[in-house]
Amino acid sequence: MPYRVTFVCTGNICRSPMAEAILRHHVEEEGLDVEVDSSGTGNWHVGDGADERTIAALDRAGYRSAHVARQFEDSWFDRYDLILALDEGHRRALRSMAPDDEARARIRLLREFDPEAGVDLDVPDPYYGGRADFDLVLEQVEAAIPGLLEEIRAGLKAA
């Protein structure tokens, strides 16, 4: 059975689809049995593709993405081994939706896996920004990938 990871941001068009594409690339490179997807806490962009600036940042870094935005549903908690919020607001929203302590324990902040992140673990929303803001998100996601892969490998061994 694959290990299942999902990323959650606000509208599922900027941060979470970027994180999804980057992690998917790395687990495929390693041949890990991991399913990766993403969603948003809100429904504003359901059915839309990723923001063109997200796609451009991914392209510049050599990642590919085919994405359709969706909203996280409270019935999904049992589907995932790890639910990664992109900022504290997303984590609070997810924790309030979680049916029990076991589900809440699977909700983490992505930047918890970056040992250099410091105290601010939020990935900033680049939506109202420009290229540099999207590139910063990409850098922050990539910085968390080694620690995240360690967590996933440990989860696969425990299964």
Does 133 have pLDDT greater than 90?
Answer: yes
Q: What is the pLDDT of residues 60-103, one digit of tens each?
A: 999 998 999 999 999 999 999 999 999 999 999 999 999 999 99
Q: Would you say 125 and 10 are in contact if contact means Cβ atoms under 8 Å apart?
A: yes
Q: Which helix (H) or strand (E) holds 144?
A: helix 131-158
pLDDT value of residue 7? 98
Mean pLDDT of 118-145: 98
Q: Would you say 69 and 12 are in contact if contact means Cβ atoms under 8 Å apart?
A: yes
Question: What is 3-158's CATH superfamily?
Answer: Response regulator (3.40.50.2300)
pLDDT value of residue 34? 98
Q: pLDDT confidence of 159, banded at 50, 70, 90?
A: confident
> Which of these is catalytic: 4, 9, 51, 114?
9
Backbone φ, ψ for residue 108 (5° rounding): -135, 165
Q: Would you say 4 and 32 are in contact if contact means Cβ atoms under 8 Å apart?
A: no
Q: What is the pLDDT of residues 104-130, one digit of tens each?
A: 999 999 999 999 999 999 999 999 999
pLDDT value of residue 80? 98
Catalytic annotation on 24?
A: no
pLDDT value of residue 146? 98
CA distance 3 to 145: 16
Domain boundaries, the chain: 3-158
pLDDT value of residue 20? 98
Catalytic annotation on 64?
A: no
> Which of these is catalytic: 48, 70, 108, 125?
125
Q: pLDDT confidence of 39, banded at 50, 70, 90?
A: very high
Q: What is the pLDDT of residues 1-18, one digit of tens each?
A: 899 999 999 999 999 999
> Which of these is catalytic: 4, 15, 24, 53?
15
Tokens of 135: 């590139």
Q: Do you know the residue count of the chain?
A: 159
Catalytic annotation on 15?
A: yes
pLDDT value of residue 3? 98
Task: Please list, residue by residue across 12-28, b when 16 or more beta carbons sit within 10 angstroms of its beta carbon and e when fewer do.
Answer: bbbbbbbbbbbbbbbbe
